[in-house]
Amino acid sequence: MKNFKKIISILLCVIMLAASVTSFASAEDAGKTGTAPTRLSVTVNGDTSTSRGFCWYTAEQTETKVEIIGLPASAYTVEDVICQEWEGNWMHKAVVTGLTPGMSYLYRVGDGQTWKEGMFRTDDGNDKIGFINIADVQASNLDSFQKGANTLAAAFKKLPAADFVSNCGDFTNDSTNEEWDLYDQAFGDMNRGCTLVPASGNHDGLGVDYWFTNMFNLDTTESVETKTGVNYSFDYGNAHFAVINTNDLLSVSNSQLKWLENDMNSTDKDWKIVFFHKSPYTLGKDGKWPDALYLQKSLTKVLDACNVDFAFSGHDHQYLRTKPLTGNKLNENGTTYVLSGTAGSKRYEVRPFLQGHFMNMDFIDRLVIQREGYGNESPDHIGGCFETVEINGTTLTLKTYILNDETGDTNLVDEYVVTKAAGENKITFTGDNTTSELEYKANIVPSFLRLAVYAFGEWLPKFIIMVPALLDSVINHDIF
Ligand SMILES: [Fe+2]
């Protein structure tokens, strides 16, 4: 019944949105003058039941206005309004607060004359939620962006009432204005009609600080620098979510880990889920570099200490789900790691040399390679990948699909159900961590020195042991 109401409410909004097509078309025409909003996104920002963040761009400097269609301005608050030049365009940000939980809203953003419309729905606080997860579109031309968008469109067919869409990073390949515009061309109509939960990938700001931070309006923690990406958290239904940036020198810094532990220990929500870009457990080409191994020894400790249920990541363009792990060992009450396959068209084979070295094969519960080549199981698996996650009280159902390139069929390639008792998570402490057994060494030693010590002291010896297997892979499979 609740889902039926959700769908009816969404359908009504879609009809109203369609009715506004005339004004939307005029806005597109006006865009030629440089005042039409582009790259519009709605993101979680603060309380998901009463607020949302908005970000869009214009070519010319304009006013920054957000309106909820059909409501008097006195019924909500528009705050934290920003309009500033960024990389040759004008970035607009605003947060709308004071909304009603469990409502679908039509909105419009613009300068007061030229508008772009969209819709979103606020959290009703109920313990039944669903979301779509994708990763690694990492495109640089319209055709590749469109393939990624087709994957997301297929996901909406499987979960039309999705509360939000998480994206584990690498939205673009080189993070240029041209690529973000192509991304908008392919994804824009879907992005303005749902709530996004973006995580920053290593391709989302190459060489330019704050690129990613300036593409979305997120309530990032002030305790961690946002130059290379974002760290934030939010509640939705009976779950608590955190998003971690893995773009720094050591993938994650001590200040990030400390923030994450404080954050995750400050919630008593039944489910704890984390999104980030680089994967600790992978059989992809980046699994051999220091990042993955470092995440295995650092980030996973915090997830263990905080009883995190699921960790979604990307970066390695193949689908891999582990069995639940704690302390890099199998533990049925531990964290399940999901390396989301790529939603785009750049896909990686298995790197056989990682097996038994950087990747413990006993940990793997499901592996799907999305391209022809080493490790591929089936032609049905050649295509873009997405996951749907539905939480219904104490049960979480993960389903993973591949949108077949050739046939256009959407094939279920993994289904995984977890149940747990409600009320198990307690608030351990709030505020700054003072009781954890984890140590966060002060950043007295510069991070590049700590990276050098780690890389030469821990990663390199393990890499050297792996070299014969790596050479065998290069010689026999032409895979590095
Ligand atoms: Fe990546």
CATH classification at residue 51: 2.60.40.380
User: In the predicted model, what is the mean pLDDT of residues 65-87?
Assistant: 97
| Res 20: pLDDT | 44
Q: CATH code at 227?
A: 3.60.21.10
- CA of residue 329 relative to chain centroid, distance: 26
| Res 24: pLDDT | 40
CA 215 – CA 185 distance, rounded (Å): 15
The count of domains in the chain is 2
Q: Residue 441 above 80 pLDDT?
A: no
pLDDT bucket at 248, cuts 50 / 70 / 90:
confident
Ligand 1 centre distance from Cα of residue 171 (Å): 9
- Across the chain, what does the average pLDDT equal? 91
Ligand 1 centre distance from Cα of residue 345 (Å): 14
Q: Residue 316 above 70 pLDDT?
A: yes
| Res 427: pLDDT | 87
Ligand 1 centre distance from Cα of residue 60 (Å): 32
Mode of pairing for the β-strands spanning 271-275 and 77-86: unpaired
pLDDT bucket at 6, cuts 50 / 70 / 90:
low
**Does 22 share its domain with 151?**
no
| Res 462: pLDDT | 96
Q: Residue 82 above 50 pLDDT?
A: yes
pLDDT bucket at 443, cuts 50 / 70 / 90:
low
Ligand 1 centre distance from Cα of residue 478 (Å): 22
| Res 386: pLDDT | 98
* Pick from 386, 404, 318, 323: nearest CA to 162: 386
| Res 241: pLDDT | 98
User: In the predicted model, what is the mean pLDDT of residues 359-374?
Assistant: 96
**Does 40 share its domain with 110?**
yes
Ligand 1 centre distance from Cα of residue 460 (Å): 22
pLDDT bucket at 12, cuts 50 / 70 / 90:
very low
Q: Which of 24-33, 245-254, 265-274, 462-471 has the lowest mean pLDDT?
A: 24-33
Instruction: Tell me, yes or no, whether 375 lies in a domain.
Output: yes
Q: Which of 123-132, 309-318, 342-351, 430-439 has the lowest mean pLDDT?
A: 430-439
User: In the predicted model, what is the mean pLDDT of residues 415-443?
Assistant: 78
| Res 222: pLDDT | 85
Ligand 1 centre distance from Cα of residue 154 (Å): 23
Q: Which domain holds residue 53?
A: 2-121
Ligand 1 centre distance from Cα of residue 101 (Å): 35
**Does 283 share its domain with 335?**
yes
CA 287 – CA 367 distance, rounded (Å): 14
| Res 163: pLDDT | 98
Ligand 1 centre distance from Cα of residue 289 (Å): 12
Query: Token pair 């608030």 is at which residue?
Result: 427
Q: Which residue has the higher pLDDT, 10 or 118?
A: 118
Instruction: Tell me, yes or no, whether 255 lies in a domain.
Output: yes
Q: Residue 379 above 90 pLDDT?
A: no
Ligand 1 centre distance from Cα of residue 4 (Å): 38
Instruction: Tell me, yes or no, whether 20 lies in a domain.
Output: yes
| Res 33: pLDDT | 57
**Does 35 share its domain with 159?**
no
User: In the predicted model, what is the mean pLDDT of residues 2-20?
Assistant: 47
User: In the predicted model, what is the mean pLDDT of residues 25-42?
Assistant: 69
Instruction: Tell me, yes or no, whether 295 lies in a domain.
Output: yes
State which of 72, 93, 121 marks the end of a domain.
121
Give the pTM: 0.93
Ligand 1 centre distance from Cα of residue 281 (Å): 14
| Res 16: pLDDT | 44
Q: Residue 47 above 60 pLDDT?
A: yes
Q: Which of 116-130, 139-153, 448-462 has the lowest mean pLDDT?
A: 448-462
Ligand 1 centre distance from Cα of residue 147 (Å): 18
**Does 170 share its domain with 210?**
yes
Instruction: Tell me, yes or no, whether 99 lies in a domain.
Output: yes
**Does 96 share its domain with 150?**
no
**Does 158 share its domain with 89?**
no
Ligand 1 centre distance from Cα of residue 372 (Å): 21
**Does 24 share its domain with 117?**
yes
| Res 449: pLDDT | 85
User: In the predicted model, what is the mean pLDDT of residues 169-193?
Assistant: 97
Q: Which residue has the higher pLDDT, 465 or 373?
A: 465
**Does 96 share its domain with 154?**
no
Q: Residue 2 above 80 pLDDT?
A: no
Ligand 1 centre distance from Cα of residue 383 (Å): 18
User: In the predicted model, what is the mean pLDDT of residues 201-214?
Assistant: 91
**Does 201 share its domain with 332?**
yes
Pair of tokens at residue 351: 């790197």
Ligand 1 centre distance from Cα of residue 202 (Å): 5
pLDDT bucket at 266, cuts 50 / 70 / 90:
very high
CA 41 – CA 379 distance, rounded (Å): 35
Ligand 1 centre distance from Cα of residue 158 (Å): 26
Instruction: Tell me, yes or no, whether 192 lies in a domain.
Output: yes
Ligand 1 centre distance from Cα of residue 379 (Å): 25
Query: Token pair 């990492």 is at which residue?
Result: 138
Instruction: Tell me, yes or no, whether 460 lies in a domain.
Output: no
Q: Identify the sign of the CA torsion 74, 19, 2, 51.
A: negative
**Does 69 share its domain with 145?**
no
Ligand 1 centre distance from Cα of residue 135 (Å): 9
**Does 311 share its domain with 198?**
yes
Instruction: Tell me, yes or no, whether 432 lies in a domain.
Output: no
State which of 121, 150, 178 marks the end of a domain.
121
Q: Identify the sign of the CA torsion 192, 198, 201, 205.
A: positive
Ligand 1 centre distance from Cα of residue 443 (Å): 26
| Res 191: pLDDT | 97
State which of 121, 151, 174 marks the end of a domain.
121
| Res 49: pLDDT | 98
Ligand 1 centre distance from Cα of residue 205 (Å): 11
- pLDDT above 70 covers a percentage of the chain that reads 91
Burial class of residue 430, CB neighbours in 10 A (0-12, 13-18, 19+): exposed
| Res 122: pLDDT | 98
